[in-house]
Structure 1
Amino acid sequence: MPDLQGPWSDEAVRQTLMDYFGVGSDVDLPDELRFLANVARLLQKRIREGELEASEQRPALFFLHPQRPNEVPSRSMKRVPMLDNGVHAISGKLWFVNQIASDGSYIELMPEEDDEAIFDLATNTLNAGTFPAVVFETRTVPVEARFYPYGLLKTDTFQVVRLEETALTFDQIFESIDRLYESKLCTPDAQSRAGKLWADASKSWVADDAEDQIQHVVHCGLIGFFPTCTIRIEQSQATGRLDVEIEEPLVSDRSQIVRHAILELKVLRSKNSRGNSVSASVVQDWVRKGVEQASAYRDERGSRLAALCCFDMRLATADDCFEPVKELAEQLVVELRSWYLFPSSEAYRRHLTENREPT
């Protein structure tokens, strides 16, 4: 191959590849989410390759720990530099992997070690108790995986990882957003862990970039709940730029993709970031536009489901923001769901008290 000169020299091409490698995938996500998603996909590959048919089914533990830990006496550590290809047996081993689970080192677990001994080995002997971890349990029917975002020292904080190839439902999607709402969006105190959605919460002035911040929370959260799926945002197409798409490549045939859902996200305001009022008619038009967008994006992408998700930051919550568009949404087969973002924790507490069911 000739050595190209000028702006397209070999070095320039190499640098361009390095600069843009991975753009559009998961490079901007937190390391623990990249770790979870890639380990989940690796587990799917091993299930597909028949790992569970082995005569001895033992758990596998994965730690986000790109650097190999210190060697343990009487325990040899081996490296697998292309772990992500899915051809290496993983059960009965304690793995230390990078955030994309492409390179890993492992220690064999002893046949006599029970769960307590295995956890003790990881947390005390190897000092890996604070690293994000995934435990693959092969001894149950069906098999399961558990994600410990704060490590195995906090065994009460985990979530079960979805590994099966099944069609996602609105109940599953909305349940995940409900949990994100409660932990990161419902009040300014919760939002402090996600971003600043209010320009001035005491006056109900909404930040200009509230949509972008909520989209980021939803994007990261959906990856955490559905790590074997690909969560795409800001996809441009003929009908416009969709907010969130949930799709999933089939492990049985990676050339086949299931497009589960399109989510159109809207923030509803009474006041903008400068305190200017937003009229009810503008809000209604915004909601109607969202229904039409969700429908058009789903049809163009060939997705199974479409939903309009509204994050209501208006002064009052008495009116139903969906009332004027319910007939249209039914006609276009678009699901409607809203979440109210309270301007203070006090307002949220008052809401919970007023709506508490009698015991």
Structure 2
Amino acid sequence: MSETAPPRGGTPRARAEIDLAALRANVRTLRAKAPGAAFMAVVKADGYGHGALPCARAAVAAGATWIGTATPEEALAVRAHAGLPADVRVLCWLWTPGGPWREAVEADVDLSVSDPWALRELTEALRGTSRVARVQLKADTGLGRNGCQPDDWPGLVAEALRAERAGLLRVTGLWSHFACADEPGHPSIGAQLSLFRAMVAHAEDLGVRPEVRHIANSPATLTLPETHFDLVRPGIAMYGLSPAPALGSSADLGLRPVMTLSASLALVKEVPGGHGVSYGHHYVTPGATTLGLVPLGYADGVPRHASGTGPVLVGGKWRTVAGRIAMDQFVVDLGGDRPAPGDEAVLFGPGDRGEPTAEDWAQAAGTIGYEIVTRVGARVPRVHVNEGRAG
């Protein structure tokens, strides 16, 4: 989880500009979709590639009262370095045996538990301390990943309540996650929601008194108000990307993409017709032309699967990756145009200047927008703008 800045002096090779004003506006738009629920800003995977710490601060400034993380390391970094108000809660949900349970409790992190082994490790880690852990129980209502199966739910709830009566923990939440909320009308949505209600009711009948019950991710926050309960957990939508084309574009949903990825052209040169370009010569120039070298490659997160299809804006025109994307660089055919070395090549952004979007790259690579922004590598500095401004 890093905050990086461009190198001092000269033209940077590449940069990912992160517009925190756009992020704050997205948070406000999403909060308006669920006015009766608290808002958890999910900043896992270094804020989906945008920088977890500044994004967490921006989200809280726009009204988020919870921060969501996947790994303990992410949660501990947010607690130690984000500078959030003390009353902002941090939830961590992806634990493995031997995890830093005690450190997380001491750092005031809420812990998600899906299986009795985790409860046992947690309570053992707290022996000899006076700290009381805050625990949320996760139900597997049909996603089939993390979470407790319905048949095992009574046992997990009973064990958590025993630990609560012993003064070791407090059950603060009950939650689950949708499998297909990004597919309008999918039958699993109603089935999962019904099962979640039943599992919550069972836990509450046994004596659990949760502060929050939650199941709504980005698409559910946007389109399924009956799923909002006490808290919503937007992830990708907070960064301005649509959770799925079937739900509409970012603009359709009132969201603005937060990241713009660009690079400075490293070389522009004339080549004759019939000239092979990049490994394997999968692209051969159809005639005399100019080529531009973009100093980004798959080591920087540019998907190799977008070789020959990835769009780039250079000199006000859309260009297409010519040939294979290499580890550190790729080529675009400029069609005889002569931009100067150092001129900007924009891979994706909000689209205001006619540049491609992350969704355009997702379509070119046969993937989803989540992956396009999250995979942007550490060699690309994140430049956070509008961090301290209102709006």
| TM-score over 0.5 (shorter chain) | no
TM-score interval w.r.t. the shorter chain?
A: under 0.3
Q: TM-score, normalised by structure 1?
A: 0.24
Higher relative contact order (CA 8 A, sep 6+): 2
Q: TM-score, normalised by structure 2?
A: 0.23
